[in-house]
Structure 1
Amino acid sequence: MGRKKKKYVEDHIFRIYPDYPLMVLDKIAWAKAGANDPLHFHYYLEIGYCYEGQGTIMSEGKEAAFSPGSISLVAPNLLHATRNENGVYTMWGYLFVDLEDFVKLFSFIDERMHLKLCRQLFYGIQILDERKHGQITSLLKQIFKAADEKKGTYKVQIMNMLCAFLFMLYDVLEHDHMAEEEAVSLPLLPAIDYIFDHYMEQIKVGELAAMCHFSESHFRKVFQKMKGLGPVDYINCIRVREACWRLQNTMEPIRIIGEKCGYLSISSFERNFKKRMGVLPAKWREERRLYRKKERGEYEIKKILVEEQK
């Protein structure tokens, strides 16, 4: 009997600065995405536009179909992966938005609207069809164009267009049946918010259940149904995700990283990390550094080739 292949979470980490809480990636082609590709997190709201190809976006026990012209919304910190249909490549444009920092730049967004934008509106996975939402699609394409051309005060223009874009989405989703179907997970939000704010501390499932006014046994059942994994596994996913960022972007010792991510011992940290990432933290850090070095080299080569063709 063959050895069962482990699935693990790989966190795709970007850094977005508070004064410009946005990353734009356009015309990104993805080759075959198999059923065994790992799920991953983003710290930010992911907004995608599908130019070519079709398939599904998988997340926490659910899936949503996409095709050319689809606009996808993937909530921050959500396990997900794209599965291309029949192994055919797809082409996407992406916006990654740090909602928390974005809303701080606009004084007219009050606390109530802030809460809806950041906690109640953009969560789960949602797909919109450009044929039904032409104005939203047009604005999204204008953002891609401005980011590509980089003319004049393009960053200010993009931020203003993004503000209008998000409020258009708000109006659509606020009254759309998709938002109503996902509303069943809202009772878990106090616990989810607490996990993201306190993952570095020792968290008891009973306390999370009390925040949501559930018994512990009922909370575990609801959490498993809504999120696709139990609360303890979910906490460990968040901790490992944060550990990945520290391993990749700092020189902190592995023991210190484990402690900062909520693990009481290095053995517990290494056991949980390997369970989700397939290798020990030290090995993962080494592999990522080698990969990023190779990636930078390939980027420079591609950049030269593009410039030579112009």
Structure 2
Amino acid sequence: MPRKKKPVIEYRHYSLPINFPILLLSGERWKISDIKSEHLHFHNHLEIGICHSDSGIMEIKGESVPFKAGDVTFIPRYLPHTTYSSPNEASLWSYIFFSPEELFQHSFKSAYSDFEPNLWAIKGMNCILNKEEHPKVYTLATSVVEELKQKNNFYQESAYGLLLSLYIELLRIHSRNKPLVEQETDHNLKGDFVISPVLEYITKNYMIPITINDLADLCHLSTTHFRRKFHEIMGTAPLDFLNSTRIEEACKQLKSTDASILSISERVGFQSISSFNRCFSKLMGESPKQWRKAVHSEAQSAKASILEFTGWV
């Protein structure tokens, strides 16, 4: 019997605007085919989707969950999934990407640390909220999209308030749906989910020293197996991904602050200025000093992503 073909996993990396870190993808381009993709994908930010027309299926956590017009989807970062429309349909969507931890860190009390639901506990069916049962979610989500599209006076302040209200509502719904006893633990992670703890850890701790052994231990894998599994899913080596995360944060700081290059290199986790300069030049094509000068002179347009590894979309 032929072995079942293993699905390809695509990591879609979105760099958010620095001054207002919310990304909207909307318009006629964002129609989903009725052809079922052989690829699962996941993102580096939380995704909120609004289905404007037609229907289809979202595959998530091994579940096939139907969606229809008026549904709002709520996909935590690093959660593999795919979506396809019903036969002979092409559902139209709008998507909002943001990092709750970054965006709302000053809005929540310091005691609140779980900015995103535990993706191991959340069920696939709870990632899709229909308009009839959750009219508030639908109204808030569509209002955020309209503010970001229209860009009227004070649209950023309005979009921020609406998105904060939407996110709180999503957290409340998730807390009601959360099982009393969580069956899944990191020790039970299998298949494509196995490296997610590492992605989450790097996102939150890129600024401290991290070794390949540290990362392998998070997945309860040998170093050799972890390297192979990470490269298989991400298309790059674990430490290359770590350094790319550091360089992206450095770009934000080079553009938005007057801090010295040495100070920034230390803040993002590099142990020496020479290793920072070497890694920055490799990824960005020029030195940190040249890049900062070009950005400030508006001679260089913003890159959609500095992370362009094999197999990425």
Aligned to 1:240: 236
1:193: Cα distance to partner? 3.7
Aligned to 2:97: 96
Contact kept, 8 Å, 1:41 with 1:241, in 2: the verdict is: no
Contact kept, 8 Å, 1:45 with 1:97, in 2: the verdict is: yes
* Mapping of residues 251-290 of structure 1, within 5 Å: 284=310
Contact kept, 8 Å, 1:50 with 1:93, in 2: the verdict is: yes
Aligned to 1:154: 155
Using the size of structure 2 for normalisation, the TM-score is: 0.60
**SS of the residue aligned with 1:86?**
coil
Aligned to 2:201: 197
Contact kept, 8 Å, 2:71 with 2:138, in 1: the verdict is: no
Aligned to 1:207: 217
Aligned to 1:24: 24
Aligned to 2:86: 85
Q: What 5-or-longer segments of structure 1 have no aligned partner? A: 210-215, 221-229, 258-280, 289-310
Aligned to 1:184: 183
Q: 1:37 to 1:185 in 2, by over 3 A?
A: same
Aligned to 1:117: 115
* Matched residue type, 1:57: M
Q: 1:65 to 1:184 in 2, by over 3 A?
A: farther
Q: 1:283 to 1:68 in 2, by over 3 A?
A: closer
> What does the per-residue CA deviation read over 1:61-116, in whole Å, with 9 as the maximum and x for residues that have no partner?
33322111111111102222112222521111111111221122x2x413442x32
Contact kept, 8 Å, 1:74 with 1:124, in 2: the verdict is: no
> What does the per-residue CA deviation read over 1:164-204, in whole Å, with 9 as the maximum and x for residues that have no partner?
1111111222112xx32894335569984445435973247
Q: Does structure 1 residue 48 correspond to structure 2 residue 49?
A: yes
Instruction: Work out the CA distance in 2 between the residues paired with 1:159 and 1:40.
Output: 27
Aligned to 2:257: none
* Matched residue type, 2:134: H
**SS of the residue aligned with 2:41?**
coil
* Matched residue type, 2:142: K
Instruction: Work out the CA distance in 2 between the residues paired with 1:85 and 1:44.
Output: 27
Aligned to 2:58: 57
Aligned-residue identity in percent = 16
Contact kept, 8 Å, 2:236 with 2:309, in 1: the verdict is: no
Instruction: Work out the CA distance in 2 between the residues paired with 1:13 and 1:241.
Output: 16
Contact kept, 8 Å, 1:45 with 1:73, in 2: the verdict is: yes
**SS of the residue aligned with 1:57?**
strand
- Aligned residue pairs, count: 237
Aligned to 2:264: none
Using the size of structure 1 for normalisation, the TM-score is: 0.61
Q: 1:168 to 1:204 in 2, by over 3 A?
A: closer
* Matched residue type, 1:240: T
Q: What 5-or-longer segments of structure 2 have no aligned partner? A: 252-277, 284-306
RMSD (Å) for aligned C-alpha atoms: 4.4
> What does the per-residue CA deviation read over 1:22-53, in whole Å, with 9 as the maximum and x for residues that have no partner?
11123454242433442222111111111112
Q: 1:41 to 1:139 in 2, by over 3 A?
A: same
Q: 1:193 to 1:100 in 2, by over 3 A?
A: farther
